[in-house]
Amino acid sequence: MTKSKEVPQIVKLTDFNFPPEVFIPLKSGKFIDTIISKKGGTMPATITVVVGEPGSGKTTMLVDKMAGIEANGNGKKCLYISSEMNPVDNMELAEDLPQLMDLNTLYLADYENPKSILETVLKMGWDYVLIDSFMDAKDKIKDTSSMNASTVESWLINLMVKHTKGENDAKKYTAFDVIQHITKGGEYAGSTKLKHNTTAMMYVRIDEITNQRYLVYVKNRRGGIRKKLYMILENGKLSYDSKRYTELEKAIQIQKEMDNFQTENDQKLLELLGKSEVSDEELMVSQ
Amino acid sequence: MKNSNYENFKKEVKENYPIRKNSTLSQLNIDFEDVTNGNGSISIEGVKLSLSSSAFKSLLKTLNITDNFMIKFTDIFGVNSRNQLVKVIKNKMSTNRDMKVAIYISPSTKRVVAINDASKPYVSPEFYFNMVENVISDHNLDISNMSISSEGNVQVSTLKNNWGFDIPDLKDESFHTGVIITTGPTDDLAVDPYILRLICENGMVGPRRLEMGPRLMENNVEAINTFMNEIKQLGDTSLKFQGIFSERVGVMNKTLASYNEMLKIREMVSDKVSDIRDARVEAVLDRFFPINEVKSMYREKDINLDTLTSRHWKNTKTNMTTWELLNSFTDVASHDYGMGIGENAKNDLRKQSGLFMFKPHFDTEFLV
């Protein structure tokens, strides 16, 4: 099979005419909005890969965020695609995570042709989609189609990219959060292709010393990176340690000031040395 | 402390705050050939800068060479061999692991005042004074003393009236605590507890080696965050320090100072006086550290202390308790008795007094 020849297009940003809502964040009303983007919330037309070990709280955090986006009103359409769980599993999970009860959910395991189902459902157009998990969805499609793993992955990524461009019935510039598994060493287990096609990559980690969970972006085209946001999970209720985050932000600011001070010092030294033709007499005097 | 004094001090610090240059050990070419400066010189951007004695000392510390070793080595082999040794160790260290070093240059004297590990955090005077002002306003403190040393180490001492406490064994004495806030090329960015003995206003810096106060030792976000949080808990640190202090005073009150301790402290003070040959200075030193009286006391028992070694002196009890000796020490470190001890030297003596108080054990503490 030969690929059709692509025609290069040189464009300017002024050639595009995006609707204003593409630049309006989907707010969950939770503190997590602060770290997701500079504008404070999940930005439409983005793909974020969320990585973390089992039990770290990825699903809880994202389901809570999704419920927040829906509850925040404005008629935002959200979809939870669960490829690993079935309704019974989720019903039990909902005892601790009641936000699950009211979410629009697609259980991929229920279908013989998940590829076609996924295409059909996404074509309806959604503001926000959570895929849990990418690897499992990919495996299910591979197992039920004639495509190999690599082709399925490309297809799935292209499908998401297509919807981030608003190519669906409702012309929604969909924002995707995609849960991804990790290696035994705690690192991202997905492909480079997925990594490169994402807007952001977030890790959910468990602090080895304090055993506390935290989120941290290692890549984020729309917001900051390397800032830890600690999560508190008590009796199934999720909250964020905003105080600690603010303190860490202040510490980052102090560190930046220290770096800037060093740069100032380098300049000052040049000035000092420029005018300091240090004579032996001068040295003797200063001693 | 008048506000104008504080503002003037800020200005003085900003003008004299050392400039830091980051480099590597291998790039640090020390020139000992220049006979005008025994501590050597280095070149930066083609400009020769001489090392002060404190810079040389800090370089030794960076090269993991102890003061004692170097003093003994120099006594035996001379200055040239000392310089050769420094070069060999420096070269060897930079071959093994080319560590990053920070060079501090005094803007007023254009001399290198310190060379140490570049991982040491270095904050701007603006940051330091903001911190000082926040600590003062958050804990309602008063400034009691301010100084900048020739190496560019800055410190502001503060006191708080309701941080006072009494020690049951000591009648007619009470103590007030505060904090001393430091920064500089060879000092930590730290906020240490500070004790003021009210009976005669002797100040003493809390012991650094116990690491009682918050200090910033690394330049990373977690360390900065911990440091900033600990500063908020200063009241707790002060109370903890009071407990340790009271307990220590109890021990000191029951322990006689050794002749060795008295002699060493007297030497520390006499090193700071303007003219040791002045008979009046000798008289003041005798009043506070009566070594001659102790010698006489032992001479009556047919023991000549001058013929004994420091090992014997450590087992020789004097007629002063370690607490009394400490008070003599802090007294001369806090008042002007006409010995010409400068403010920086007094600060240093106060720091030494803290170290004496919290030394692991006193010479005669376990003597039967």
Convert the pLDDT of each residue in B300-326 to its tens digit: 999 999 999 999 999 999 999 999 999
- Report residue A3's pLDDT band, with 50, 70 and 90 as the boundaries: low
Cβ neighbours of B325 (radius 10 Å): 25
CB contact under 8 A, B109 and A286: yes
- Do the domain assignments include residue A10? no
Q: Among B104, B21, B97, which Cα is nearest to B59's?
A: B104
Tokens linked to B352: 């030494």
- Do the domain assignments include residue A281? no
Query: Comparing A280 with A249, which gets the higher pLDDT?
Result: A249
Name residue B154's beta-bridge partners. Answer: B148, B183
B77: pLDDT strictly greater than 80: yes
CB contact under 8 A, A261 and B122: yes
Interface test with A, best of B104, B221, B228 (most A CBs within 10 A): B221
Kindly give the pairing relationship between strand B100-105 and strand B19-24.
antiparallel
pLDDT digits (tens, 9 = 90+) for B263-304: 999 999 998 887 778 888 889 999 999 999 999 999 999 999
Task: Please indicate, yes or no, whether residues A168 and A223 belong to a single structural domain of this protein.
Answer: yes
pLDDT of residue A163: 97
- Do the domain assignments include residue A221? yes
Q: Among B149, B152, B154, B163, which Cα is nearest to B132's?
A: B154
Task: Please indicate, yes or no, whether residues A21 and A34 belong to a single structural domain of this protein.
Answer: yes
How far apart are alpha carbons B37 and A42 in whole angstroms?
A: 64
B44: pLDDT strictly greater than 90: no
- Mean pLDDT on A37-63: 93
Say how many CB pairs under 8 Å bridge A and B.
79
How far apart are alpha carbons A60 and A66 in whole angstroms?
A: 10
- Do the domain assignments include residue A1? no
CA distance A27 to chain B (A): 28
- Mean pLDDT on B143-149: 90
All residues of chain B having their beta carbon less than 8 Å from the beta carbon of residue A252 are: 221
CA distance A248 to chain B (A): 6
Chain A positions contacting chain B at CB under 8 Å are 247-248, 250-252, 254-255, 257-258, 261-262, 264-266, 268-270, 272-273, 276-278, 280, 282-284, 286-287
Chain B positions contacting chain A at CB under 8 Å are 19-22, 36-37, 44-45, 47-50, 105, 107-111, 121-124, 127, 219-222, 224-225, 228-229
DSSP string of A22-74, one letter each residue: GGS-B--SSTTHHHH-TTSSBPSS-EEEEEE-TTSSHHHHHHHHHHHHHHT-T
Least confident window among A215-229, B303-317, B344-358: B344-358
CA distance A86 to chain B (A): 41
Residues 6 or more apart whose CB falls under 8 angstroms from that of A18 comprise A173
Task: Please indicate, yes or no, whether residues A225 and A267 belong to a single structural domain of this protein.
Answer: no
- Do the domain assignments include residue A98? yes
How far apart are alpha carbons B281 and B288 in whole angstroms?
A: 11
- Point out the residue among B22, B49, B221 whose CB comes nearest to the CB of A252: B221
Task: Please indicate, yes or no, whether residues A191 and A249 belong to a single structural domain of this protein.
Answer: no
Are B149 and B136 contacting, i.e. CB atoms less than 8 angstroms apart? no
Are B144 and B1 contacting, i.e. CB atoms less than 8 angstroms apart? yes
Q: Among A237, A203, A197, A230, which Cα is nearest to A217's?
A: A203
pTM exceeds cut of 0.80: no
- Do the domain assignments include residue A152? yes
Task: Please indicate, yes or no, whether residues A108 and A175 belong to a single structural domain of this protein.
Answer: yes
B1: pLDDT strictly greater than 80: no
Task: Please indicate, yes or no, whether residues A98 and A124 belong to a single structural domain of this protein.
Answer: yes
DSSP string of A169-237, one letter each residue: TT----EEEEEE-B-TTSSB-S-HHHHHT-SEEEEEEE-TTT--EEEEEEEESSS--S--EEEEEETTE
A66: pLDDT strictly greater than 90: yes
Whether complex ipTM tops 0.85 = no
Are A80 and A142 contacting, i.e. CB atoms less than 8 angstroms apart? no
Task: Please indicate, yes or no, whether residues A142 and A265 belong to a single structural domain of this protein.
Answer: no
| φ, ψ for residue B155, nearest 5 deg | -145, 140
Are B146 and B170 contacting, i.e. CB atoms less than 8 angstroms apart? no
Provide the number of structural domains found in chain A: 2
Distance of CA A227 to the CA centre of its chain: 13
Residue of A nearest to B53 (CA): A287
| Structural domain boundaries in chain B | 17-117, 125-242, 256-357
All residues of chain A having their beta carbon less than 8 Å from the beta carbon of residue B220 are: 255
- Do the domain assignments include residue A2? no
How far apart are alpha carbons B154 and B125 in whole angstroms?
A: 9
- Do the domain assignments include residue A285? no
How far apart are alpha carbons B336 and B274 in whole angstroms?
A: 12
Owning domain of residue A55? 15-240
Backbone dihedral region for residue B297 (phi beyond 0: left; psi -120 to 50: alpha; all else: beta): alpha
B12: pLDDT strictly greater than 70: yes
pLDDT of residue A275: 54
Could you give the count of Cα atoms lying within 13 Å of B332 in the half-sphere of its Cβ?
31
| B266: enclosing H helix or E strand | helix B259-270
Task: Please indicate, yes or no, whether residues A82 and A137 belong to a single structural domain of this protein.
Answer: yes
- Mean pLDDT on B161-175: 71
A281: pLDDT strictly greater than 80: no
